[in-house]
């Protein structure tokens, strides 16, 4: 199946490195990140999982639960985690799904046949507390993900979910944001009392409202 932004993220039950889970129950009321890996004991994946583990505090600060996926077994995952912890100087505590039958990979369209018939590409989905898909990023198997960008986008998603704003190119948390065009210029001050700038009638900026 094909998943698009705004779709409800499919639920599933699966074996993982921390035991069996129901995906929705695992997420609870949190935001979620689910991301796939072509296989265990692969070098790029080892660095990615290590980096994710080292960012545990950053994900927790944003109320985000992380779960990874690989098509290998639970036993393989547990052994691989030891390697990740050793080589990346970290401690992997989030679950890794053992998707041996590729059920979850198929649900989330993680296998792209023209890239590989058997391995997942590096798919990453951000899921909101109402279980909607808010972001999809897909990398080829050869390219490691940029987790600074993942956190940046989560900041933007959480901000724009609460306020009538958008974030401009290269925006980082704390910088000015764009006022949505659905708000009339004469109504901006009432909604955003920190002030605003009118660059063009369709391009108005204001300081980040939650800072």
**Catalytic residue positions?**
45
CA dist 101 and 98 (Å) reads: 9
DSSP summary character for residue 163:
S
CA dist 8 and 1 (Å) reads: 13
Strand 31-37 relative to strand 197-200, pairing = unpaired
Q: Which single residue is written with the structure tokens 């944003």?
A: 62
Contacts of 172 (CB under 8 A, 6+ apart): 152, 155
Q: Is 166 left (phi over 0), alpha (psi -120 to 50) or beta?
A: beta
**What's the helix, strand, coil split of the chain in %, to 5?**
30, 25, 45
Contacts of 84 (CB under 8 A, 6+ apart): 46, 49, 50, 53, 90, 92
């Amino acid at each position: 199946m094909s998943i698009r932004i705004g779709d409800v993220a499919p639920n599933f039950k699966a074996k993982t490195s921390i035991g069996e889970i129901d995906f929705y129950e695992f997420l609870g009321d949190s935001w979620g990140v689910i991301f796939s890996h072509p296989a265990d004991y692969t070098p790029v994946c080892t660095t990615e999982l290590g980096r994710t583990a080292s960012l545990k505090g950053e994900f927790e600060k944003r109320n985000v639960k992380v779960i990874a996926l690989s098509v290998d077994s639970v036993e393989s995952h547990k052994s691989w985690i030891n390697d990740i912890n050793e080589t990346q100087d970290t401690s992997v505590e989030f679950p890794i799904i053992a998707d041996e039958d590729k059920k979850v990979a198929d649900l989330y369209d993680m296998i792209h046949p023209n890239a590989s018939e058997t391995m997942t590409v590096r798919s990453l989905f951000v899921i909101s507390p109402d279980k909607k898909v808010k972001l999809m990023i897909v990398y080829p198997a050869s390219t490691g993900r940029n987790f600074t960008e993942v956190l940046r986008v989560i900041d933007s998603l959480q901000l724009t979910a609460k306020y009538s704003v958008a974030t401009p190119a290269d925006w980082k948390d704390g910088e000015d944001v764009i006022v949505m065009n659905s708000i009339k210029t004469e109504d901006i001050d009432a909604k955003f009392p920190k002030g605003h700038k009118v660059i063009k009638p369709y391009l108005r900026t204001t300081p980040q409202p939650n800072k």
